[in-house]
Structure 1
């Protein structure tokens, strides 16, 4: 396996672990902790997801550069395109809507639940599948 492929696979699996740990473990569990109110949970969530999204952008750039250097198999290119598209959709389309609702709640306003949260989760599932498939394809191809 070349250095570019190794870096690409490592970045994909680190990214995968971060998404699973934060989106599917930390995010839902924090609201079940004793004493965590909705405003506190939203405040923590904003900080955590800002950090996650920053790390995701760095990992996306790493994966794209590694792929550009190494010319991975088509399945890897497709997986990377899917995961980067999903991330862009979240950051540019869904997250601003979620942020407006969070800000309203944190300002003390009654804001109705948003369907945008479910859309965000769907994109998280898409990223998990694409990152898993792309990372495994790199390992199997040995490129």
Structure 2
């Protein structure tokens, strides 16, 4: 399997368009979809204890996501600068899905997470029993982010690999009158 060669697009930036979404996707699946729900099923975990652990885990996760987002943006800008000189296949789709992922990350960390912090503060203080709809917004953004990251990986792969070539020595079947 050979990558499409472009003179000006650095290999690290092209690789980053696959690597970063894959790592980010694994982080979301591992933390949001596995660790978070399972934590509350462990023996001896109370709601306040689970929320305290969750706050630390999601803070760490959001820091890593922010770093991944910055690296993705750097790779995207690098590819964009080079795309002006030599077209990189699927670049516009890579740019679109990258920007959607970054906007979702911003919404999640700047809007939803602070709202969740208010709710968890109230639960930890004993003034609120929990169960806010804000958690559903967070989960919804996570699901959208998973879809967007998968789409980004698909378009990046299509942009980095050459189109499917004919198998050596096999001529594609030409349509004849008998085929119609």
- Smaller-chain TM-score range? over 0.9
The structure 2 residue matched to 1:55, chosen from 51, 54, 64, is 64
Partner of 2:133: 115
How many residue pairs get aligned? The number is 143
- Structure 2 equivalent of residue 125 of structure 1: 143
Structure 1 partner of 2:156:
138
Establish whether residue 86 from structure 1 lines up as the match of residue 95 from structure 2. no
Q: Point out the structure with the larger helix share.
A: 1
Larger RCO (CA within 8 A; separation ≥ 6): 1
RMSD (Å), alpha carbons:
1.4
Q: Which runs of 5+ in 1 are unaligned?
A: none
Q: Which runs of 5+ in 2 are unaligned?
A: 4-10, 81-87, 162-180
Q: State the alpha-carbon separation in 1 of the partners of residues 106 and 18 from structure 2.
A: 20
> Aligned match of 1:74 in 74, 80, 92?
92
Q: Which structure: larger Rg?
A: 2
- Measured in 2, the distance between the counterparts of 1:95 and 1:15 equals 18
How does the TM-score come out when normalised to structure 1? 0.94
**What is the TM-score of this pair, normalised by structure 2?**
0.75
